[in-house]
Each structure stands twice: as C-alpha cells, then as structure tokens.
Chain A
C-alpha cells in the first residue's frame, strides 16, 4: 500500500504522512553519527567520518563541518551533495544579511531561512526533499550561544545537546546521561569525544575517522575552530587515558 505514495512529488498519504520526507530521514539514519553539545562558553560539534579508503587525503577533505559565517558553523548528516548546495545557499544568505544590515545574521534567522528552503522541497519545488539533517552551532548578541537541529521536513528545534545519524539513539542516551547544564567548553569537548568513542562503529578511535569543531566566545563575539587531524589527537589521547 505504502509504495503508492512514495513516488513522484511529495504528497500526503491517507494517514496524513509525507513518505518522501520519512524516507529522507531514513537515509540520514544511515549516515555517520554527528553530535553537538551546548556549553556555557561555547559549543562543540563532533562527527564520524566514514572513511572509504586509506588513500583518501585527510588534510584537505573535511566532509561534514562547514563554516557558514563568522558566527555560525554546522555539521551535516545525510547526502553530502544535497548538503553542499544548502551550505552554499546558507553562506549567501548570511552575507546578504551582513551586506544589508551591517550585522552578522542572528543564528535562528539563518536556520529558519535554510529550513524554509527545505520546506519548499516538501511542498512545491523539485522532485524530492533534501536528504540532510544539520546541526547548527552559533552565537549572536541577542541570544548568545545556540544549538539547533534541522531535518528534511524543514522543521528545526533548539537543543542543549543533540545528535543525528547512524547511532543516534545510543548517542542520545549517552548525552542525556552526560549532559551537565553548566559545563565549560573544555568539559563539553571531552564529553563529545567520549560519546563518539562509545557510539562509533569502528573499535579504535582515530583522528582519520573524526571531525571536530568548536565555536567559543571571543573579544568581538565568537570565533570558530575547525580542528585539523593533529589537533584531534590530543583529545583522543585524553579520552583513552580516562576510560582505561
């Protein structure tokens, strides 16, 4: 029965569901795990990279972490090419806002605008919804640090800590256990690494399989840092030493 509502454009099924959107979410649930934790002085994002080959260049191929503007970064889970086009749109939106108002785009404003684009693909444009979920981390002067997660339906919600991708249920459980409302960014980084180590499919945690980024307070608002593999190593060592 269900396969009658899952071809062509996104339309309602008799139960009022949008199968195309649900399938897109299904696609995301196979992607590498990604998570975000909101600390009081910053936000950490971490993601599992599915390395296909040893020959893949590590230094130059960041796959999942994107800088959208001076004050906003994100991590994606899902179809990478879909993500790329949305990231490009997002960057344009952020710059357009800066050009018009001479102020960085507030985090929720950008999140909402990207999600509006995604919503459009579930109602009128194109043949299928976008197959990506984003976790956005950002800072603005009115709301401070903020963590959002979006999904293909165009919904978004604000989180203290969240995850998407393959092992999201176990990651979510661990986040619930580990999350402390007043932790510092440093503590949050350790938590993130610990949870990644417990949820990733591969047994050994290596910097080739991880992406890591933070955004933290700076003198003129916020500054982001997308980690290079060599910067990730010390964090891995730290987790290994504490868990042993």
Chain B
C-alpha cells in the first residue's frame, strides 16, 4: 500500500501492480459466465443481468457478444468497459478480413483483446479494463473447438472449460469434477447450464446460453428450450437429494 496503488499502474516495492489486482476484484464482483468445450461444440453461458420486473428484456443488452460470424465472447466485470473492448475486437476482426482475405482465428482475436488489455496496464493516465473474457469459436474450415480466457492484466490462456466472475471458484470446481472428453452437444449444454445454476438463483429466467458450432453463426438458446434443460437438471438434483435422504434413513 502506501501510495503504490494510487498512481495508475506502477510497481509497488514488493512487485505488485495494484491497479491490475483491483481490476480483478471488479471482475469478481461481476455476474458469472462460463464456457465449456465439447467434442465439436463450444457453449458459452452467463448470468442474465438482474432481470428486474420493469426491465425490457427485448432491449437490455446481452452479455453474449458476437465478435464475428465464427467468434463469440462473453465477459464478467464492468459492462461499459466490455462494450468498448468488444467493439474494438469487432473492428479488428473486420480489419483482418480486409487485410488477409480470411476470417481471423479465435486465437488471433484473443491475442488482440489480451494485447489491448495489457496496454491499459502500462500506459499513462488510464486504468485497466475491469473485465475478464471467455472467447469461444471455431477457426474457418475447422471443427476443432476453441475456448480462451483473458484477464485485465492481459494474460490469456486456452481452456477445456472455465468460469469467470462472481463465485467462479465454485463453478470452476464443479467443471473440474464433471468435465469429460468427447461430450456431445447436449451434454456440453447441460454441463454449462448445470454449472451456472450453482450460482444463479431461480434458474431459468436468469441465464442465457449460446451454442457455437463449426462454420455456423452462434445460436442463442430459446427461453423455452432452456427452461426444459433447467427443469431436467433440477429434477435430477431433487431425485439425487431424495435418494441420499432415503439411503440415510435406511442406514438408521
């Protein structure tokens, strides 16, 4: 402490860049988002922003953002920061198409976003972006799923499944336990929804999920389809709990 966190981003004597660490706190205060890779699918899901009664669901901005036809991003942290960062990624995606005559790879866009985030930890008069992102998609003419994670510091990494934002630790543990190789689309969606339900109250209305498939635009799952999955998972959970209880009774 003692002033090393006041100037925008400088090292403290023990080697911390406080502004970046505090930006991570802003991420932790954000709503939760998850990404799960399946065999030939990537599923991104997030908590819908507090669905208050008077919110207009038609016009409230979504946290699932298409960067290009084949790349989708979701984020946790400051919404306004995310909007600006995503727009710059979209610009880069189109620039890539103009300059290279090909769509950008998911990794390229990830690197670009992470690079931007890094720049805002090392320039004068600015604060870092208060967001972490999960970037999913398929490279052109490929059916290998990609899922990347970026942080305010500019670090990026590739994941089989990951979670960011509020209670992401709990979700991460669940994903750690349940993720397996070669999941089909339905299983991948179910895992994403299940992990979100760990942190979201009253399920169905408060989450949104996008499914990304090779050489296709993302599909945001319709509400009633999502409801069905949520109900199935909740039933399963209830049954499990019941079994556990009856077993306990049996033991007595």
Contacts and interface: CB of A to CB of B under 8 A. Distances in A.
A and B touch in the complex (CB under 8 A): yes
B125 interface: yes
A148 B120 CA distance: 29
B59 A108 contact: yes
Contacts of B49: 157
Interface string B43-64: 0000001000111111111000
Interface residues of B, number: 37
Interface stretch (B77-85, B93-101, B139-147, B239-247): B77-85
Q: Which of B22, B55, B60 lies at the interface centre, i.e. has the most chain A CB atoms within 10 A of its CB? A: B22
A108 B83 CA distance: 13
Interface in A103-125: 108, 112, 115-116, 118-120, 122-124
Nearest to B6: A4
Interface in B115-133: 120, 125-130
A17 B26 contact: yes
Contacts of A8: 6
Interface in A1-48: 4-5, 8-18, 38
Interface stretch (A71-79, A159-167, A192-200, A228-236): A159-167
A38 B120 CA distance: 39
B24 to A, nearest CB: 7
A176 interface: yes
The dominant DSSP class at the A interface is: mixed
Q: Which of A12, A16, A122, A123 lies at the interface centre, i.e. has the most chain B CB atoms within 10 A of its CB? A: A12
A65 interface: no
Interface of A: 4-5, 8-18, 38, 108, 112, 115-116, 118-120, 122-124, 143, 146-148, 153-162, 172, 175-176, 179
20 contacts: A11-B5, A12-B22, A12-B127, A14-B25, A16-B25, A16-B28, A17-B29, A119-B80, A119-B83, A123-B81, A123-B120, A143-B59, A146-B59, A153-B80, A155-B78, A155-B80, A157-B49, A160-B54, A160-B56, A179-B54
